[in-house]
Structure 1
Amino acid sequence: MTTRLRARLAVAAGLLVVLAVAAYAAGGGFRPAAPDSGGPVGSVRLGPDPGQDVRTYLAGLPATLPPAGAPAPALVQLTRPVGVRDAAALAGSVDPAAPAGSADRSGSAGSADVATAVFRVPLTRVQTALRFQPVTGTGDLVAALDVARAGAAHAADADAARADQAVAALAPDAPADARTALARRAAVARAEQRALDDPGCTCVLALVVTADRAGLEALSRDDGVRAVQAAPPGTRPRDLALSPLLPEQTRTVTPPADDGPVPAG
């Protein structure tokens, strides 16, 4: 293999990293909430399609709610990112002012089982990744969401390491724009990791919950909820593909701006 060919392959690999992260951050790419082995995954999409009109998407959501008494998984999309305690309160589990450890997943009529949390660090005019984390345990939902937050921080750290490795693998004569793009992705991931490491990070953008029609209607009426889209009852977690609305997407579902400065550590 010639030096020139190796350089081209390194540039191509690096650009694949950039494109994958960019699509992921923009919400155009989506992934199963809880993939497992065997068969296709992500056959039921929750969230708008790329390029879709936001008002049209929102108008169609009431028709997705299940019949009365039939629990169904749903993507609860928030108006703006919140912290883990507020996210738990939104699910009907805990008073935001209550001390840690007091959560009860079945503590109110509008409570819902939370299966997945979607984290996104809000940075002005900087695309950041959607990070899907399972929410496990049957006790303190605040604690479970905090474990998920730590998992998202770990994922951001791994993304930064991969981007750094891609930069290091570039040949000396690699295009400057490829090096710049990879270095920016690494810097963004490091900024995400620092934010997600903070237990008070307001980074929960959406939740996947299971609730009946009454519970989902109650969630949809909450001022902090922008949209609730339900899958058909009986949909398995592995069947879900998630693409929540971003706060910046007010008219059409297009990638947010990515021309702002990345916060330094």
Structure 2
Amino acid sequence: MRRAAVWTGCAVIVLLVAWYAGSQFASPAPQVSAGSVRLGPEAGEPVADYLARLPAELPAPGAAAPALVQLRAGLAAPDVIALLDDAPLPVRSVVFRVPLPRVQTALRFEALAPGVPLPTALDTARQRAGFAAAVDAGRLTGRAAAVAAAEEAALAAPCACLVALVVEGDRAALDAIAARPAVRAVHAAPPGTATAELALSPLLPEQTGRADPLPDDGPVPPT
């Protein structure tokens, strides 16, 4: 019994150490938003295969559906507003990601308040994303905390950090937005899908061959 108690105590210590290490070095934010309908490539999926399957997932003519608009490069809010200037596509949510060379940064998912003018809604969403980064910088340690602090600094002012947005539109509107030079892909959910049901995992500008994790061996800029 004494030996069993010793082994049990050792196992508890190992589990606690593993939990502590995971909590200290975990990614500062989830890379997929919660939901059951995935929009974005599967992990490790070849980019060419992903892009090739998207046209078949657009809604039938006359039907409207939410869709993830994935951009070729991060855009600032004025660029997103210009992109949507003459498109009848209400924006439901946006995805921010601070681009740092060879540094993994968090995807920050922010819903937009309905009825608020788009410039105001985007600016408010950016501030919320910056606050979330500040919270991560305070609760994490080491490299993860430094990355979150760099994100907070970038999001404190308008930045080219918008990498995707969720819109809602019919087939014609989604086809039109997909044809714009700044847009890399439009991935539609089935018609009738609620925004809360979406699991967003956008294709990132740096992902060209496969939807694999990006390198994380570069220096973190000081803040």
Q: Give the paired residue count.
A: 216
Normalising by structure 1, report the TM-score.
0.76
Paired residue for 1:123, among 68, 85, 100? 100
CA distance in 2, matches of 1:158, 1:7: 28
Is the Cα contact below 8 Å between 1:53 and 1:253 reproduced in 2? yes
Partner amino acid, structure 1, of 2:38: R
Change beyond 3 A, Cα 1:16–1:86: same
Paired residue for 2:25, among 7, 18, 37? 18
Paired residue for 1:220, among 175, 178, 186? 178
Match of 1:257 in 2: 215
Match of 1:137 in 2: 114
CA distance in 1, matches of 2:155, 2:14: 35
Aligned to 2:101, the other structure's residue is in SS state: coil
| Cα RMSD, aligned residues only | 2.1
Change beyond 3 A, Cα 1:61–1:253: same
CA distance in 1, matches of 2:196, 2:202: 17
Deviations 1:137-158 (A, max 9, x none): 3242011101000000000001
Aligned to 1:226, the other structure's residue is in SS state: strand
Is the Cα contact below 8 Å between 2:62 and 2:171 reproduced in 1? yes
Paired residue for 1:86, among 74, 79, 85? 79
Is the Cα contact below 8 Å between 2:27 and 2:106 reproduced in 1? no
Deviations 1:210-258 (A, max 9, x none): 0111111111001000000000110011211000011111001110000
Is the Cα contact below 8 Å between 1:73 and 1:231 reproduced in 2? yes
Paired residue for 1:185, among 136, 144, 158? 144
* Sequence identity percentage: 50
CA distance in 2, matches of 1:10, 1:156: 26
CA distance in 1, matches of 2:63, 2:154: 38
Aligned to 2:166, the other structure's residue is in SS state: strand
Is the Cα contact below 8 Å between 1:14 and 1:163 reproduced in 2? no
Change beyond 3 A, Cα 1:113–1:161: same
CA distance in 1, matches of 2:160, 2:77: 7
Is the Cα contact below 8 Å between 2:28 and 2:148 reproduced in 1? no
Partner amino acid, structure 2, of 1:132: F
Partner amino acid, structure 2, of 1:214: A
Normalising by structure 2, report the TM-score.
0.90
Give 1:16 shift. 3.5
Paired residue for 2:131, among 143, 154, 174? 154
Partner amino acid, structure 1, of 2:168: T
CA distance in 2, matches of 1:233, 1:76: 16
Change beyond 3 A, Cα 1:126–1:57: same
Give 1:19 shift. 3.2
Give 1:12 shift. 2.3
CA distance in 2, matches of 1:77, 1:247: 9
Aligned to 1:31, the other structure's residue is in SS state: coil
Deviations 1:59-82 (A, max 9, x none): 111111111121110000000000
Aligned to 1:21, the other structure's residue is in SS state: coil
Partner amino acid, structure 2, of 1:219: I
Runs of 4+, deviation exceeding 4 Å: 4-8
Task: Structure 1: give runs of 5+ residues left out of the alignment.
Answer: 33-41, 93-107, 165-182
Is the Cα contact below 8 Å between 1:157 and 1:193 reproduced in 2? yes
